[in-house]
Amino acid sequence: MSVSFWEASPSDNIKFERERHVYYMEMMHHLLPSHYSGQEINRLTLAYFVISGLDLLNALDRIDKEGVISWVLSLQAHPRSEADLESGQFFGFHGSRSSQFEMNDNGALIPNGSHLASTYCALAVLRTVGYNLSSMDSRSILKSIKYLQQPNGSFMPTHIGAETDLRFVYCAAAICFMLENWSGMDREKAKEYILSCQSYDGGFGLVPSSESHGGATYCALASLLLMGFIEDDLISKSASSSCIIDVPLLLDWSLQRQARDGGFQGRANKDSDTCYAFWVGGVLKILGAHKFIDQKASRDFLSTCQSEYGGFSKFPGQLPDLYHSYYGITAFSLLNEPGLNPISVALGIAGAAGVTL
């Protein structure tokens, strides 16, 4: 009797279904299911998952690159004047067409709803489709990003005000790295903020004195690498030189996130979840310690989250979603799955083989 791959037990060493994932991402590219309507404001982020996902799957030929470039560029906010640029607003990218024309409580249009995460996704998508970032208006982004940095070194995602934490330090670092210009960011202050987020157990919390978390730890390590404060392959290099973070404790915390079922959890005592095979796996890659995980067990867990329709779910046996599909693919890229392009761990998009940047 033949057993279809989604019914097989993890020990059957299930195949990575590349073609199905390509179809799933293509389907999402053409028409998002209706339950994504609540995420309309994050459309650039959803596009990042699809386009970077197709790139990692070596299937970027399925999209109209010129169409993508003009759509992304149409979401950039431009200052109307030099005075506008000096007004304290951040001029980056809107998450979607609707946020470009958002209204305030009085019904007046807000002309600029730029967001750091949308700006990171915009640049990541443009870079992925081969657009030369030096030919865009990066001056307004670089001149205005400084208004988002707080006295403690952290970043707000918008000039309108919102929570500040490591996610937005990461977005700012990735933006400055991709634009090859750090003039809008006080790196020393950002570094101090990141270091203040390392917890007693070695992981990093999203804000100082908070519980260690896989996503926050990724943001911390990737930001320090992008900013040039640490090197990759830290465990072999930190032995000979002093490192600004506690590497042995971080290594211990990260390796302990692989659970008995082979998957990775974001925090202690939580269920394994597809996306942490990338968040925590990425940290281990930067540390030079990804080889120390049980790679077969990780692959087996991820395979139980692989959907028959293509894509990955958060937990085994559930329906896939775009977010976990992307991070399932990136996790398989970290595991050097044949047919997948290597990932630049710190930037979160495809990159050259063997490097984390």
Tokens representing 290 are: 């990804």
| Beta carbon of residue 24, minimum distance to Zn ion (angstroms, whole number) | 17
Stretch that binds Zn ion, among 56-64, 136-144, 242-250, 265-273 (CB under 5 A): 265-273
Q: How many residues bind Zn ion (CB under 5 A)?
A: 3
Q: Is 273 a binder of Zn ion (CB under 5 A)?
A: yes
Residue of minimal Cβ distance to Zn ion: 275
Closest CB 266 distance from Zn ion, rounded Å? 7
* Residues sharing a CB contact under 8 Å with residue 148, sequence separation 6 or more, in sequence order: 90, 116, 155, 156, 157, 158, 159, 168, 172
Cα angle for residues 120, 226, 178 (degrees, 5° grid): 40
Q: Which is nearer to Zn ion, 115 or 324 (by Cβ)?
A: 324
Of 73-81, 105-113, 192-200, 267-275, the window that binds Zn ion (rule: CB under 5 A) is: 267-275
Nearer Cβ to Zn ion (273/300) = 273
For residue 222, how far is the Cα from the chain centroid? 10
Degrees to nearest 5, angle at CA 210 with 225 and 121: 45
- Contact pattern for Zn ion over residues 80 through 109, marking x by CB under 5 A: ------------------------------
Nearest CB to Zn ion, comparing residues 36 and 147:
36
Contacts 24+ apart (CB under 8 A), 255-264: 255/284, 255/289, 255/292, 255/293, 257/214, 258/293, 258/294, 258/297, 258/298, 261/297, 261/301, 262/10, 262/294, 262/296, 262/297, 262/298, 262/299, 262/300, 262/301, 263/298, 263/301, 263/302, 264/214, 264/298
Identity of the residue, 273 or 337, whose beta carbon is nearer to Zn ion in the bound complex: 273
Footprint on residues 299-318 left by Zn ion (CB under 5 A): 314
- Reference 219, options 167, 176, 150; nearest CA is 167
Shortest reach from residue 2's CB to Zn ion, in Å:
31
**CA atoms of 280 and 304, how far apart (whole Å):** 19
The residue (of 257 and 314) whose beta carbon lies closer to Zn ion is: 314
Region 167-186 residues binding Zn ion, contact defined as CB under 5 A: none
Question: Measured from the CB of residue 212, what is the shortest distance to Zn ion in angstroms?
Answer: 16
The least distance separating Zn ion from the CB of residue 274, rounded to whole angstroms, comes to: 6
Task: Kindly tell me which of 159 and 314 has the beta carbon lying closer to Zn ion.
Answer: 314
Least separation in angstroms between residue 314's CB and Zn ion is 5
Which of 25, 275, 343, 350 contacts Zn ion by CB under 5 A? 275
321 forms part of the interface with Zn ion (CB under 5 A): no
Q: How many Cα atoms within 13 Å fall on the side-chain side of residue 29?
A: 24
Quote the least distance from Cβ 124 to Zn ion, whole Å: 19
Q: How many residues does the chain have?
A: 357
d(CA 297, CA 314): 17
Residues near Zn ion (CB under 5 A): 273, 275, 314
